């Protein structure tokens, strides 16, 4: 067997790389969703001082390159704070923060679309802030936000490919390894690209289905 040949084990490597990419994508999306939504609630209720801090941080994160953020976390934070970060930990921190910044923008827009008149009416009837958020704002905001969130998730899936530059053995890193070993870049990167494409299409399909269900439940059916 020549060193340029593919082997059956290459499929295992691709599957492992895809698993790492999907694992990081899923975990950072979930954490980013929780953090971004919490920051959006702070903005919506206009808490003094906190609102200004949140706005500044999110603007910084969403308007700077993800690769620069990744280098700052992986190389800068350990040097400045004397901490030891693994490539996976650095990737988790960076992708979570970046995802949260964009989810914050989407969540704020969705919550503002509900209308503060509904919030004021609910408060008149004695509902607490938590009850208003849970029963009035959240159901309607979710229907408004699911479309943009689906687009963001597809984009963030592609962004995960950047973590290979700091040594995380994700799908892109496996592709690079196979490319260097086989010297067949067209085949390798076509397969890697197709895997990303199939996962992205699955996310888009699931998001469209969920959006349709949400809008069906919130649609006006008359009296």
What pLDDT, in 10s, does the model give residues 64-106?
A: 999 999 999 999 988 888 888 999 999 999 999 999 999 999 9
* Cβ pair 25, 156 in contact under 8 A: yes
Handedness of CA 64, 68, 70, 74 (dihedral sign): negative
Query: CA–CA separation, 49 vs 25, rounded Å?
Result: 32
pLDDT at 2: 54
Query: Does residue 141 or residue 195 have the better pLDDT?
Result: 195
pTM for this structure? 0.86
Residue 143, pLDDT above cutoff 90: no
CATH number listed for the domain at residues 9-218: 1.10.3720.10
Look at residue 222 in the predicted model and tell me its pLDDT: 46
């Amino acid at each position: 067997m020549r060193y340029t040949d593919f082997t059956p084990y290459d499929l295992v490597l691709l599957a492992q790389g895809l698993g790492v990419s999907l694992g990081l994508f899923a975990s950072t999306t979930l954490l980013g969703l929780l953090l971004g939504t919490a920051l959006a609630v702070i903005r919506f209720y206009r808490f003094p001082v906190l609102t200004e801090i949140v706005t500044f941080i999110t603007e910084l994160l969403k308007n700077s390159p993800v690769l620069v953020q990744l280098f700052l976390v992986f190389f800068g934070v350990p040097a400045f704070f004397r901490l030891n970060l693994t490539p996976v930990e650095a990737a988790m921190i960076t992708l979570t923060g970046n995802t949260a910044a964009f989810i914050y923008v989407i969540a704020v827009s969705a919550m503002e679309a509900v209308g503060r008149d509904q919030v004021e009416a609910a408060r008149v009837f004695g509902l607490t802030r938590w009850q208003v958020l849970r029963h009035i704002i959240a159901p309607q905001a979710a229907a408004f936000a699911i479309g943009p969130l689906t687009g963001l998730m597809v984009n963030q899936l592609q962004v995960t490919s950047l973590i290979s530059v700091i040594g995380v053995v994700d799908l892109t890193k496996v592709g690079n390894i196979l490319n260097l070993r086989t010297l067949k870049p067209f085949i390798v990167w076509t397969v890697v690209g197709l895997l990303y494409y199939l996962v992205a299409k699955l996310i888009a399909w699931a998001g469209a289905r969920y959006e349709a269900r949400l809008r069906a439940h919130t649609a006006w059916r008359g009296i």
